[in-house]
Amino acid sequence: MRLGHEQVLDAPLDAVWTHFMDLHRIGRCFPGAKVTQVHGDDFVGEIRAKLGPLSLYFDGTGSMTERDADAGRARLAATGQERHGLGKATIDITLKLHPLGDGNRTRAQLATDLVFLGFPMDFGTGLVQRASDPLIDRFLTCMSVPGRGHDEAMEADDDGLDLVRSATDLLGSFRRERRERKRR
């Protein structure tokens, strides 16, 4: 499935680019993820996702396959295997950064190709897109702030990517939209 996200970040392009080139920081900023080893453009990591009382662990490897600072474009590819099951996932993320206005803000665009095999949930692309929006917003915001990229807001995610919480957030957004439509 193909997902797209876009967000304006309150940071200059050079700072955001530097943060995205730090593979450890990417792991610290993404909810439930951890990069455990980096060798040049290659990395080893894990993602923990919670599905109610169940925890799913994926171990994987990946690589920064493209870095073009002049074009503000980077590409990351990774594959993962569920530790205690048959699930597999592959992901290919393309990042495009564009400076805005006076150069103190940056538009970040992420295009994600995601494939799950044997994963315990089968969601439609539209549902996955909407459920991933708040996660990617938090990730991109973390990637734009100075420092190590693991502030108090991110510490809540140390327990893993909570899929039930994400689904609950998604259902809440559906209810808000329905109420707003009724008001019109």
DSSP string, 35-76: EEEEETTEEEEEEEEEETTEEEEEEEEEEEEEEETTTTEEEE
Question: What token pair was written down for 82?
Answer: 């569920």
Each residue's pLDDT tens digit, 36-86: 999 999 999 998 877 667 777 889 999 999 999 999 999 999 999 988 878
- Mean pLDDT computed over 154-166: 47
Of 46, 80, 81, the closest CA to residue 161 belongs to 46
Give the CATH number of the domain where residue 156 resides.
Answer: 3.30.530.20
82: enclosing H helix or E strand: strand 73-82
Output the pLDDT for position 115.
Answer: 80
Full residue range of the structural domain in which residue 22 is found: 2-183
pLDDT of 177 over the 90 cut: no
Output the pLDDT for position 119.
Answer: 56
Question: What token pair was written down for 129?
Answer: 């897109």
User: How far is residue 176 CA from its own chain's centroid?
Assistant: 24
Of 32, 43, 4, 18, the closest CA to residue 144 belongs to 18
Each residue's pLDDT tens digit, 93-146: 999 999 998 889 999 999 988 887 775 555 555 555 565 667 777 888 888 888
Task: Yes or no: say if 31 and 161 are a contact pair by the CB < 8 Å rule.
Answer: yes
Q: How many domains does the chain have?
A: 1
Question: What token pair was written down for 99?
Answer: 């400076």
- The residue whose two tokens read 């919670």 is 50
Name residue 117's beta-bridge partners: 88
Treating both helix axes as pointing N-terminal to C-terminal, what angle do 125-144 and 163-183 enclose, rounded to 10 degrees? 100
